Homo-oligomer: A and B are copies of this chain.
Amino acid sequence: VIAVGDERITVSFRGIGRSARVARRSTVIAAAREAGTEIMAACGARGRCRSCRVQLLSGALPPPTLADMVQLGEAELAEGYRLACQCRVGADTEVLVAAPVAENAFQVLTATDADAPGLELDCGVRKRYLSADADDPPDEARSDLEITLRGDPGADDESIPLAALRQVPGARQGGAGITVTSFGGTVLCFERGDTTAELYGVALDVGTTTVVAYLLDLRNAETVAVKSGLNPQSVHGADLVSRIGYATNGAHQVRDLRARIVRFANQLIGAACASAGVAREQVYKVVAVGNTCMHHLLLGIDPSAVGRAPFRPVLRHGYRCRARDAGLRVNDGALLMTLPLVAGFVGADTVAMVLSTRIDRRPGVRLAVDIGTNAEVVLASEGRLLACSAPAGPALEGGQIHDGMRAALGAIDSVTLDPGGDLELRTIGDAPARGICGSGLVDAAAALLDAGVIAPSGRVLTEPGEAPAAAAHMRVREDPGGRPEILLVAAADSAGERDLVLTQADVRELQLAKAAIRCAMDTLMRAAGVADHDVAELLLAGGFGNYLALDRARRIGIIPGIAPERVRYIGNAAGLGAQMALLSESTRLDAQALAARIEHVSLADERDFQQRYLAAIPF
């Protein structure tokens, strides 16, 4: 927060009863912190989400930033909405904080041009309101169901589930009109009166680490709420291999993992519904994506086989069932659909990423990379689609790092070298440091490499080498076990009043992660016979990919030497694909053909993979 001159202004927060005197041109989010209140900045106060949006009620309305325009749209801007992290106020201002959203809720930043065109709103769920008129003249021979359906129900299929059938008497009691909700030839439910105005769907992105539920209005494609949080299966291991390993212990463990994710999905759906004033029963369609293991566990299918050669999924095709059968608490007749998988380690999330980027339909060589606990890479080239996955581990999400944390308030997310050669750290929201997140880790490694504190091999140099000793060297010390570590923030300056450090082990974790990701990309490029300069576009997706500073990522070698202008951040591409399938049946059905087209390249099957992996470990 830089004060221009020492002119001070007052920012007050309506409803909260707090205000602060801050320097002119402070951001609203900084003023809020000063006033002793927190505004959620799920994306790390980078203008990449809507969680911190506020309404400016008085005072001069500053012009919108680019991020404001992308996230808020014209209508909200006109009403005085701004992103608190972007909006710098120049005069006394009164601010209304928008309804708080769940921690880390974020809206997909649709940075590709692929999502907008050609997505026809056709969710497949139909509501028909039928007035009570058709009851006359009373005809004893017809059943209530026939009158309700205005025709013949299928006499020998399962198109009307028992749960729906049981709704008929109550819905029609007293000669009320009735709303019939159907999907294709299948009845979802019967509701009393005219409920055609309520038609919602949920897109679920079940990640190994993060689960996101998007609540969409299926009548107008509007995202009305987004909730996300940590996958509660994490207690059984941060990465996929640990989860599968736990599941392999037996049916009880599979049930445990399933119960955790289903319960959590229900919580997220409930929270999303509550924040939007929507009843769970108004959700009629759920589309879920996730890697193969998460996909299987959500459905309650034992994923053990995915962990054993030949790493075969139990189910690969797109699947459809009643959401209640899967344990999801939405409308009793709602459908749950999962997108198809490609292989044991190339899941529905990857298919969703292709769906949302449409790299299969665009010319030139394109790479899409979803960096999460597992990294999935898809390469499109001359009509071919190649995919592979690599276990990056949780390091880039702050896991298995000494002072690692997720990208949240107080996380060190930017590390540069100052002119004096020392590290300059920035935290998310400029809050006191609580730890280091994935992008901070990448930055720190890049800066320490530049400073000569870390050798290209990854070794932390306790003694400066040939290069002139940078100030950063002063930070190197030994832990009680005699192993080298780098002091990032001293206890006095940290939120937890303890030293925050980067250990040699942390650097090794980062190296393993970046080698896996890079190898996956290189392997596909080799398989397709393309070089770095052939790549027309590199699309970075996923919680981490979106916050990666490109130059540093290249510095440490996570991504190949692709010109910066060819790299694009595409947000949560898997979640976006799920939303597209939720909104558009043709898109959802298209996924099946798409999945069948994707050629799976197994890293383990590649010749010389082990050597190439080892070779990728040095920075």
| A524 CB → nearest B CB, Å | 17
Q: A313 — nearest CB in chain B belongs to which residue?
A: B143
The answer to whether B301 touches A166 (Cβ under 8 A) is: yes
* Contact pick for A301, options B165, B314, B322, CB 8 Å: B165
Q: Which residues of B contact A301 (CB under 8 A)?
A: 165-166, 168-169
Q: Which of A139, A168, A303 has the most CB of B within 10 A?
A: A168
Residue-wise, chain A 143-169 has the 8 Å CB interface mask toward B (1 for contact) of 111100000110111101111011011
Contact yes or no, B140 A158, CB < 8 A: no
What residues on B are CB-neighbors of A341 within 8 Å?
143
Q: How far is the CA of A326 from the CA of B161 in the complex (A)?
A: 10
What are the residues of chain B within 8 A of A315 when measuring CB–CB? 143-145, 153, 165, 168
Kindly provide the distance from the CB of A375 to the nearest chain B CB, expressed in whole angstroms.
Answer: 19
Q: How far is the CA of A12 from the CA of B313 in the complex (A)?
A: 64
Selected contact of A168 from candidates B251, B314, B340, B343, CB within 8 Å = B314
Copies in the complex: 2
Cβ of A299: which chain B residues have Cβ within 8 Å of it? Answer: 162, 165-166
Per-residue contact bits, chain A 307-325, to B (CB 8 Å; 1 contact, 0 not): 0011111111111111001
Contact of A325 among B162, B314, B343 (CB under 8 A): B162
Produce 1/0 per residue, A485-516, CB < 8 A to B: 00000000000000000000000000000000
A273-296 contacts to B (CB < 8 Å) = none
Which of B141, B155, B163, B321 interacts with A317 by CB under 8 Å?
B155
* Nearest chain B residue, comparing its CB with the CB of A327: B162
Bound form: Cα–Cα A138–B605 in Å: 13
Query: Is A59 an interface residue when CB atoms closer than 8 A count as contact?
Result: no
Give complex CA distance A166, B144 in Å: 36
Q: Least Cβ distance of A476 to chain B in Å?
A: 46
- Complex Cα distance, B138 from A343, in Å, reads 13
For A155, give its contact among B138, B156, B326, B340 (CB under 8 Å). B340
Cβ of A600 within 8 Å of any chain B Cβ, yes or no, is yes
A142 within 8 A of B: yes
Q: How far is the CA of A575 from the CA of B303 in the complex (A)?
A: 45
Q: How far is the CB of A556 from chain B (nearest CB, A)?
A: 32
User: With A166-B301, A169-B302, A170-B302 as given contacts, are A309 and B145 in contact (CB-CB < 8 Å)?
Assistant: no
Q: Does A70 contact B (CB under 8 A)?
A: no
Indicate if the CB atoms of B317 and A144 lie closer than 8 Å: no
Say if the beta carbon of A400 comes within 8 Å of chain B.
no
Q: Which of A165-187 contact B (CB under 8 A)?
A: 165-166, 168-170, 172, 186
- Contact partners of A545 in chain B: CB under 8 A: none
Across the interface, do A143 and B317 meet the contact criterion of CB distance under 8 Å? yes
Contact with B along A455-492 (1 / 0, CB 8 A): 00000000000000000000000000000000000000
**In the bound complex, CA of A301 to CA of B300 (Å):** 30
Identify the closest chain B residue to A345 (Cβ): B140
Question: Which of A142, A162, A302 has the largest count of B CB atoms less than 10 A from its CB?
Answer: A162
User: Interface residues, chain A, CB within 8 Å of chain B?
Assistant: 138-146, 152-153, 155-158, 160-163, 165-166, 168-170, 172, 186, 251, 299-305, 309-322, 325-326, 340-344, 589, 592, 600, 602
29 residue pairs bridging A and B, Cβ less than 8 Å apart: A139-B310, A139-B312, A140-B600, A141-B342, A142-B312, A143-B313, A143-B315, A144-B305, A144-B315, A145-B314, A145-B315, A145-B316, A145-B317, A146-B316, A155-B317, A155-B318, A155-B340, A155-B589, A156-B589, A158-B186, A160-B319, A161-B325, A162-B321, A162-B322, A165-B299, A165-B301, A165-B319, A166-B301, A168-B314
